[in-house]
């Protein structure tokens, strides 16, 4: 279960960069939204099951129910903290216009409220990343409209720069870290098994699931070519998986080395292989003719 919680996090940065929101708003929303949900589920599920990785931990028939309860509690509390700070930032910038006179101050206020949601969530033993993500989504819908015209433009540029810089740092650090774990235990068999699980599980969670729901009258309206793109792009494992695996305590978990090396290998392999070929797949799937949908069984629209 620990490996499952790690590997359900997908990296959709490469896929989203290839999709134009103006040209394909539905596909963009699906890919981007799925990536966010997968990351949230991965973080919350990992934090929930981490305590069961101890050597003396007991797993009984009631353990799945306990995990589900902890999962829901942790997710709700993290979302609630992020929501509170996002709404508070919106209220402060709307009622106290003294903070809206300087675009630098406005950007700093947004940063401070987001950082506070992260810190408070971590102190409360919740997921700071989920709280920060929630705060960001809510502030984009409410706080942003309470900024001055200069603040809107400045905050957009500032956080675009910070996001691009931190993203580049994470992947650079991930690539350099790969060579520092050569002395740890490696398991090619576990790597191949987990890679197969990702491929089959991803296929079952996208195309096969849509076909299954179609048997009960569900109509997605998503072209088959888009479903193939969603399936392929979602196989890229994100850096969040590697960030989470480093939280495992080696003294309390005997197989930490194998899990760390396997997770790192999967992140690097899927990023290089699938991330570099997803644009080629998109060009192959593109056609001037209209595509086919899941519902019509392969018939042209």
Q: pLDDT, tens digit, for every residue of 17-55?
A: 777 777 777 888 888 777 777 777 777 777 777 766 665
Instruction: Give residue 88's pLDDT.
Output: 93
Instruction: Give residue 84's pLDDT.
Output: 94
The answer to whether the CB of 261 falls within 8 A of the CB of 6 is: no
Instruction: Give residue 288's pLDDT.
Output: 46
Instruction: Give residue 81's pLDDT.
Output: 93
| Residue keyed to tokens 């740092």 | 169
| CA dist., res. 268 & res. 270, Å (int) | 6
| CA dist., res. 246 & res. 267, Å (int) | 13
Instruction: Give residue 298's pLDDT.
Output: 47
CA 296 to chain CA mean position, Å: 31
The answer to whether the CB of 185 falls within 8 A of the CB of 257 is: yes
The answer to whether the CB of 213 falls within 8 A of the CB of 227 is: no
CA 59 to chain CA mean position, Å: 28
Give the pTM. 0.71
Instruction: Give residue 299's pLDDT.
Output: 47
| Residue keyed to tokens 């076909």 | 211
**Residues 6+ positions from 264 with CB-CB distance below 8 Å:** 174, 177, 178, 181, 242, 245
Instruction: Give residue 287's pLDDT.
Output: 59
Positive/negative CA dihedral, 92, 95, 96, 99: positive
Buried residues in 133-159 as b, exposed as e (16+ CB within 10 A): bbbbebbeebbbebbbeebeebbeebb
The answer to whether the CB of 147 falls within 8 A of the CB of 106 is: yes
Instruction: Give residue 58's pLDDT.
Output: 67
* Count of other CB atoms within 10 angstroms of residue 1: 15
* Count of other CB atoms within 10 angstroms of residue 272: 12
Of 278, 240, 212, which is closest to residue 133 (Cα–Cα)? 240
Identify the segments of the chain with pLDDT beneath 50. 288-294, 297-301
């Amino acid at each position: 279960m620990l490996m499952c919680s790690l590997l359900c996090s997908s990296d959709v940065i490469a896929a989203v960069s290839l999709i134009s929101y103006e040209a394909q708003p539905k596909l963009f929303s699906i890919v981007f939204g799925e990536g966010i949900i997968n990351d949230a589920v991965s973080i919350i599920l990992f934090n929930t099951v981490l305590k069961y990785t101890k050597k003396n931990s007991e797993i009984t028939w009631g353990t799945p129910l306990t995990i589900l309860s902890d999962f829901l509690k942790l997710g709700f509390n993290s979302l609630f903290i992020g929501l509170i700070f996002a709404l508070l930032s919106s209220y402060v910038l709307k009622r106290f216009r003294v903070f809206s006179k300087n675009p630098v101050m406005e950007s700093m206020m947004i940063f401070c409220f987001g950082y506070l949601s992260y810190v408070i969530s971590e102190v409360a033993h919740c997921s700071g990343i989920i709280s920060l993500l929630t705060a960001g989504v809510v502030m984009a819908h409410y706080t942003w409209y309470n900024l001055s015209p200069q603040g809107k433009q400045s905050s957009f540029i500032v956080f675009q720069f910070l996001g691009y810089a931190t993203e580049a740092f994470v992947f650079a650090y991930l690539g350099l870290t790969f060579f520092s774990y050569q002395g740890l235990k490696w398991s090619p068999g576990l790597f191949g098994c987990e890679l197969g699980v990702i491929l089959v599980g991803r296929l079952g969670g996208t195309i096969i699931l849509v076909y299954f729901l179609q048997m009960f009258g569900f109509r997605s309206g998503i072209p088959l070519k888009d479903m193939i793109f969603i399936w392929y792009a979602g196989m890229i494992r994100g850096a969040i998986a590697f960030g989470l695996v480093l939280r495992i305590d080696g003294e309390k978990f005997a197989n930490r080395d194998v899990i760390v090396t396997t997770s790192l290998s999967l992140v690097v392999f899927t990023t290089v292989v699938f991330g570099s070929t997803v644009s080629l797949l998109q060009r192959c799937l593109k056609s001037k003719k209209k595509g086919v949908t899941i519902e019509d069984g392969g018939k042209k629209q």
